[in-house]
Amino acid sequence: MNHNHESSIRRRAKPVAPSRPTIKDVASRCGVHPSTVSRALSPAMSHLVADDVAKQIRAAAAALGYRPNVTAAGLRTGRSGLVGVLAPDIADPGFPPVLGGVTEALHKAGYATIVVDVGPHGSPVELVDRLIARGVDGLVLATVSLHDPVIEYCIGAGVPAVLVIRTDAGKLVPSVVSDDEAGMGLAVDHLIALGHRHLGHVAGPQDTSTGALRRAGFEAGLAQAGVPAQEIAVEAAPAYTREAGRAAALRLLERKPDLTAIVAANDLLALGVYDALAARGLNCPKDVSVVGHNDMPYVDMLSPPLTTVRIAQREMGDKAARLLLAKISDPEARHDHIVLAPELIARGSTASPRR
Amino acid sequence: MNHNHESSIRRRAKPVAPSRPTIKDVASRCGVHPSTVSRALSPAMSHLVADDVAKQIRAAAAALGYRPNVTAAGLRTGRSGLVGVLAPDIADPGFPPVLGGVTEALHKAGYATIVVDVGPHGSPVELVDRLIARGVDGLVLATVSLHDPVIEYCIGAGVPAVLVIRTDAGKLVPSVVSDDEAGMGLAVDHLIALGHRHLGHVAGPQDTSTGALRRAGFEAGLAQAGVPAQEIAVEAAPAYTREAGRAAALRLLERKPDLTAIVAANDLLALGVYDALAARGLNCPKDVSVVGHNDMPYVDMLSPPLTTVRIAQREMGDKAARLLLAKISDPEARHDHIVLAPELIARGSTASPRR
């Protein structure tokens, strides 16, 4: 039997451990402590090592064929190189672009992301606890409510955290959001300019910043346009889903049958508004105009293409990751709150009212 | 100054490390080795500890308020509790449901997932290398081509890997896919039953199993229906994107202006077919019927709603995770190849041809 036959070796399914060079080999070759090697070879930590020393260590590691074990490195440096991301619902097409921005920025800095889907029944505190037990260096939270215990929990545990998309009432940790009030102002101005006076709002969950601020922006926009309060109807959806949007829109149409336009707090809710209009035999935009919020992928291909408020999703994720990296390297860093400007994208779902 | 004031303690942003119980405290209370405690408290490893011992250890840990440090536990048990997932494009709305199935099954088993977006220019081998350096216990690959060096690389490194959505030609590792040939058979039969005889196919990348098998299924379905080969036109897209689908469909319409139906190898390509028809002033389905593949979220809301082949995305992810868990606990386990049955969902984008 020829045990050196290449394919039989490959099939052994065990790494060839004994011959693998260790961090000590690299350290003794360079005359430094193993922890210095560990820092020099970690993209997240190499700035702590003098440039020429780091270069010498990288050269020695390459010459020896040394590959760092990041788990062991984490125990030496006190950093795992892992960041946890709490996602509201990973199957919501609006979230992946934000996640893409987060992971790209973190990947460049040498961090890997663990994405946890909180879902409708998940406990954020429990999930954060699991992530802390895994030694994450920081957290990106895309799920917070206005008064969310998970924020104090992260602060108490000493884990750097930043908020993205949604923020909390207390502004206790850094955040990156879209200007939700201004976005709704754009939507309202667009409809007023088309001649609408009877507007309704399918609001998002009122315990989230996006739900509360977009509703406030809707009401402020109409007040500014001189539309009397009794012409304004609002129905809040308990979740950002197509189903909840459908139910809220049906309630709205029941209460105000003379509505000519509905603004939804996000695009998934707007899909539900489309469903409700179809169920009532109403045409969009001839009978009722619809405006969404977020410009999630492929809403330009709906029937009719959805007029919506575009938010800078990828940039939001990128900026949140950068705030987190700053916070990880300096826990006393300033708490920045970044608010990005949205943009109205007018498509086929809005038109002048019939009468 | 009152240093015990609750809010000032919470703001300190440092964990109260000295009072935290350690694994040794739990071990000495139970009279076992710390590695036994580590295994007993790891959902991924607890089956290796006798039930009554595990119960005693969990009770002691709860009584002491001990929270395991998973990074340190990983070094003791030789397992990190992390699984890496290589995603083709996280912003493709078809992928999150598969990912949801993977993460849910792994989460239940105590594993966390690191999701890496390979993107159009990423190097899978390099990304796998990074994940191995992080000590992942296994990999779920949703990105492989038919002859992908990343598979031999995983085998060589001794890291359990399973394939999902796409498989390789050599069937070297376990896989879970949809029956791609049968799915295209359903699409072709549906169009033939409507009366179509002039069909075109916007194929996916031909170096992937989905691209090659769906094309083979398209051609076999037409041959079986007795459609002469010269009536069949195929244009392959170099990537599964809306843009590549548009370009391929334009080439198809150029070559065969008498086409009455186009089957696309996935829904993103089908969106591009819609774009191409609009660019040529053709109506779907009156001039040209369109069938997609995957039934990704919200294609029922397109104009017209897309007829497509539904694949069991969430189940696919769930089954892939289970195969991986089996492989992690027994590297010599059988290599199962699971093929799930697809289903045709007929909607408004298909109709009988005009003539």
Residue B257's pLDDT band (boundaries 50, 70, 90)? very high
Q: What does the DSSP assignment read for A95-131?
A: HHHHHHHHHHHHHHTT-EEEEEE-TTT--HHHHHHHH
pLDDT at residue A226 is higher than 90: yes
Are B296 and B203 part of one and the same domain?
Answer: yes
What is the extent of the structural domain holding B240? 180-311
Are A205 and A306 part of one and the same domain?
Answer: yes
Q: CA torsion, points B38, B41, B43, B49, in degrees to nearest 10? A: 70
B348: in domain: no
CB contact under 8 A, A297 and B90: no
Residue A65's pLDDT band (boundaries 50, 70, 90)? confident
Please give the pLDDT value at position B73: 58
Average pLDDT of chain B, as a whole number: 87
- State pLDDT tens for residues A251-284: 999 999 999 999 999 999 999 999 999 999 999 9
Out of A262-266, B124-128, B191-195, which region has the weakest mean confidence (pLDDT)?
Answer: B124-128
Out of A334-348, B107-121, B227-241, B325-339, which region has the weakest mean confidence (pLDDT)?
Answer: B107-121
- State pLDDT tens for residues A138-152: 999 999 999 999 999
Please give the pLDDT value at position A2: 38
Are B239 and B149 part of one and the same domain?
Answer: no
A346: in domain: no
- Nearest chain A residue to B135 by CA distance is A71
CB contact under 8 A, A271 and B298: yes
- Nearest chain A residue to B327 by CA distance is A13
Picking from A35, A31, A13, the residue whose alpha carbon sits closest to that of residue A23 is A35
Residue A64's pLDDT band (boundaries 50, 70, 90)? confident
Query: Which of A72, A103, A160 has the CB atom closest to B117's CB atom?
Result: A103
Which stretch, A22-26, B169-173, B285-289, has highest mean pLDDT?
B285-289
Would you call B230 an interface residue with chain A, using a CB distance cutoff of 8 Å? no
pLDDT at residue A70 is higher than 80: no
CATH number at residue B325: 3.40.50.2300
- Nearest chain B residue to A161 by CA distance is B13
Please give the pLDDT value at position A16: 39
| Domain end marker among A27, A57, A77 | A77
Compute φ and ψ for B29, nearest 5 degrees.
-60, -35
Are B213 and B228 part of one and the same domain?
Answer: yes
Please give the pLDDT value at position B299: 92
Please give the pLDDT value at position B313: 94
pLDDT at residue B19 is higher than 80: no
pLDDT at residue B148 is higher than 90: yes
Residue A76's pLDDT band (boundaries 50, 70, 90)? low
B237: in domain: yes
Q: Which long-range contacts (CB under 8 A, 24 or more apart) does A35-39 make?
A: A35/A76, A35/A77, A37/A61, A38/A68, A38/A73, A38/A76, A38/A77, A39/A77
Are A234 and A261 part of one and the same domain?
Answer: yes
Are A56 and A93 part of one and the same domain?
Answer: no
- Please, which residues bridge with residue A163 across strands? A141, A175
Output the six-digit token pair for A99.
């996640």
State percent of chain B over pLDDT 70. 90
Please give the pLDDT value at position B69: 62
CB contact under 8 A, A99 and B90: yes
Would you call B114 an interface residue with chain A, using a CB distance cutoff of 8 Å? yes
pLDDT at residue A7 is higher than 50: no
Are B318 and B169 part of one and the same domain?
Answer: yes
Are B15 and B163 part of one and the same domain?
Answer: no
Are A164 and A258 part of one and the same domain?
Answer: no
Compute φ and ψ for B184, nearest 5 degrees.
-70, -30
For A83-90, what is the mean pLDDT? 88
Give the residue with greater pLDDT, B63 vs A198.
A198
Q: Is the dihedral of CA B298, B301, B304, B308 positive or negative?
A: positive
For A199-209, what is the mean pLDDT? 97
Please give the pLDDT value at position A265: 98
Side chain identity at residue B308, one-letter code: T
Are B333 and B322 part of one and the same domain?
Answer: yes
Would you call B211 an interface residue with chain A, using a CB distance cutoff of 8 Å? no
- Nearest chain A residue to B159 by CA distance is A13
Query: Which of B67, B71, B131 has the CB atom closest to A80's CB atom?
Result: B71
Residue A68's pLDDT band (boundaries 50, 70, 90)? low
- Distances in Å between the alpha carbon of B204 and those of A257, B123, B201, B211, B238? 48, 20, 9, 4, 7
Picking from A311, A316, A320, the residue whose alpha carbon sits closest to that of residue A84 is A320
Are B194 and B160 part of one and the same domain?
Answer: no
Q: What does the DSSP assignment read for A158-181?
A: T--EEEESS--SS--S-EEEE-HH
Please give the pLDDT value at position B210: 97
For B169-194, what is the mean pLDDT? 96
Contact A201, A262 (CB under 8 A): yes
CB contact under 8 A, A135 and B331: no
- State pLDDT tens for residues B261-277: 999 999 999 999 999 99
pLDDT at residue A13 is higher than 60: no
pLDDT at residue A197 is higher than 80: yes
For A145-170, what is the mean pLDDT? 94
A354: in domain: no
Please give the pLDDT value at position B126: 87
User: B69 to chain A, minimum CA–CA distance in Å?
Assistant: 5
pLDDT at residue B156 is higher than 50: yes
Would you call A131 an interface residue with chain B, using a CB distance cutoff of 8 Å? yes
- Nearest chain B residue to A84 by CA distance is B114
For A311-337, what is the mean pLDDT? 93
User: B138 to chain A, minimum CA–CA distance in Å?
Assistant: 12
Query: Which of A10, A13, A69 has the CB atom closest to B133's CB atom?
Result: A69
Q: Is B78 exposed, middle or buried (0-12, 13-18, 19+ CB in 10 A)?
A: exposed
Are A288 and A216 part of one and the same domain?
Answer: yes
Side chain identity at residue A306, one-letter code: L
Question: Number of folded domains in chain A?
Answer: 3
For B290-315, what is the mean pLDDT? 94
Residue A224's pLDDT band (boundaries 50, 70, 90)? very high
- State pLDDT tens for residues A242-255: 999 999 999 999 99
Give the residue with greater pLDDT, B56 vs A3.
B56
A61: in domain: yes
Q: How many CB atoms sit inside 10 A of residue B275's CB?
A: 18
Contact B113, B82 (CB under 8 A): yes
- Distances in Å between the alpha carbon of B229 and those of A12, B153, B198, B280? 46, 40, 10, 26
Contact B249, B272 (CB under 8 A): yes
Would you call A75 an interface residue with chain B, using a CB distance cutoff of 8 Å? yes
Would you call B110 an interface residue with chain A, using a CB distance cutoff of 8 Å? no
Q: How far is Cα A247 from Cα A253, in angstroms, rounded to an integer?
A: 10
- State pLDDT tens for residues B43-59: 666 777 888 888 888 88
Would you call B11 an interface residue with chain A, using a CB distance cutoff of 8 Å? yes
User: A93 to chain B, minimum CA–CA distance in Å?
Assistant: 6
A207: in domain: yes
- Nearest chain B residue to A72 by CA distance is B75
Average pLDDT of chain A, as a whole number: 87
Contact B284, B349 (CB under 8 A): yes
Please give the pLDDT value at position B2: 37
- Please, which residues bridge with residue A188 across strands? none
Q: How far is Cα A243 from Cα A245, in angstroms, rounded to an integer?
A: 5
A52: in domain: yes
| Domain end marker among A77, A102, A131 | A77
CB contact under 8 A, B271 and A100: no
Mutation for testing the A interface, residue in B106, B134, B140 having most A CBs under 10 Å: B134
Please give the pLDDT value at position B306: 97
A298: in domain: yes
